[in-house]
Amino acid sequence: MTPARAPGDRILRVGAVVTAIGLVCTLIAMIPLVAPSVDLPSAWWFLSMITGVGLALVIVGLAVSARSRRR
């Protein structure tokens, strides 16, 4: 028997994965600050911006779950 899942669970999980990927990209983008000899393309800075997108998805997932439980 599988447990019942709230409607926002899938959004929450996707948001957590996107946030984790964004955090890894952010750590990679910070390498030139520690080791100035390393030269990374600026695309890593743009990839690190998906951290905020993931956090927004987590917040939306939490809101959807809370609204479904209120009913």
Evaluate if residue 66 carries a pLDDT over 80. Answer: yes
B/e letters for 6-36, b = 16+ CB within 10 Å, e = fewer, are bebeebbeebeebbebbeebbeebeeeeeee
- Reported in sequence order, the residue ranges of the chain that DSSP labels E, i.e. its strands, are none
pLDDT of residue 57: 95
pLDDT of residue 1: 47
Please write the tens of the pLDDT for every residue from 9-51: 899 999 999 999 999 999 999 998 898 888 888 888 898 999 9
pLDDT of residue 4: 61
Higher pLDDT, 59 or 71: 59
Nearest to 12 by CA among 65, 48, 70, 68: 65
